[in-house]
Amino acid sequence: MNKPALHIATPPEFSYLRTIYSHGWVLLPPFSLDKETQKLTTVLSFGGEKQIPVTISDAKKSLLVKIHLSSDKAHRHYENVKAAVASIFRLDESMQEFYREASRLPEFRWVKKMGAGRLLRSQTVFEDIVKMICTTNCSWALTQIMVDNLVKKLGKPAGGVHAFPSPGAIAACSEKFLRSEIRCGYRAPYLLELAGNIAAGKLTVEHWRTVSSPTEDLFEEMRSVKGIGPYAAGNLLKLAGRYEHHGLDSWCRQKFYEIYKKGRKVGDAVIEKHYQPFGKWRGLFFWLDVTKEWHSKKFPFEE
DNA sequence: GCGTCCAGGTCTACC
DNA sequence: GGTAGACCTGGACGC
């Protein structure tokens, strides 16, 4: 029997592949990518109670979302599923101004042509924060281990897969469990504090994607969460649609040295000065600059 | 197989 | 405000 499905219209210059391959999130559960068909499966979670697996694919000018529920149950969730998928793919975010800017610059004309620039994000800000903390001070392999463990051991099962754990599920763990079973090491108290404060209603983060306060204020608000430093806050800002910070890490720095300095190391201020002319889009131009080679590969995360 | 060293952001204590 | 050291893990490397 065919699964219930819905179509979600995509904006002009939207590229499904360039969005899912915009950075490493697609490799972290609950996302699961079929590299042959390029279909993306994830588990959407609503109110911590309802978990719905969905499979998303490119349908030209729209996304096709198959819902892994029976038809009579699925139709009750259409609006929630639409909103969640639109948020994950940034469908409501206009990139027109960015593309106009990119088209003015010969070295960035490829950006509009390829539909690059939309950065994939998680269903919730909470999930993005946890994943971002799990990328700090470790290899990508360890990030994958930590997030795999979080989802498999703490996420609610749904149709043979698991959702991302709720703040309450993480807050209910002991620090020892997070260290020994999730393998998140010294990050354990940061995750506990974050999840505990959100679960207790002492901290709200979901408004970060929509709040209109100045970027520097939001940056400081992000930095006030333990475990979020300049790198993590800079990249969380990008996932909130603000691109004034670079979110520098060792990989990005190395890429910049190779592209512009023949491999010679320079200070962060030099990198920031280089992108200063790009105004409020500087962090996005920087990211696209250092990941340019990804966009010519079928599957960019393999050497 | 075992031990040692290193890379990777953030926090805290100290100057 | 700037800096040094600690945090913890997986992987690379040497023996």
Reported as a single tens digit per residue, the pLDDT across A219-248 is 999 999 999 999 999 999 999 999 999 999
**Phi, psi for A81 (deg, rounded to 5):** -65, -45
A145 Cβ nearer than 7 Å to chain B strand: no
> For residue A47, with 0-12 CB atoms within 10 Å meaning exposed, 13-18 middle and 19 or more buried, which class applies?
exposed
Round the CA-based radius of gyration of chain A to a whole number and report it.
19
Of chain A, the end-to-end C-alpha distance in Å amounts to 39
> Which nucleotides on strand B sit less than 7 A from a protein beta carbon?
7-12
Residue A104 CA to chain centroid, in angstroms? 28
A254-268 pLDDT, tens digit each: 999 999 998 888 889
The pTM of this model reads 0.96
Q: Whose CA is closest to A202, among A193, A211, A214, A213?
A: A193
Q: What is the pLDDT of residues A159-203, one digit of tens each?
A: 889 999 999 999 999 999 999 999 999 999 999 999 999 999 999
CB of A255 lies under 7 Å from some atom of strand B = no
Q: Is the CB of A138 under 7 A from strand C?
A: yes
**Is the C-beta atom of A141 closer than 7 angstroms to strand C?**
yes
Residue A302 confidence (pLDDT): 67
Question: Residues A44, A74: contact at Cβ < 8 Å?
Answer: no
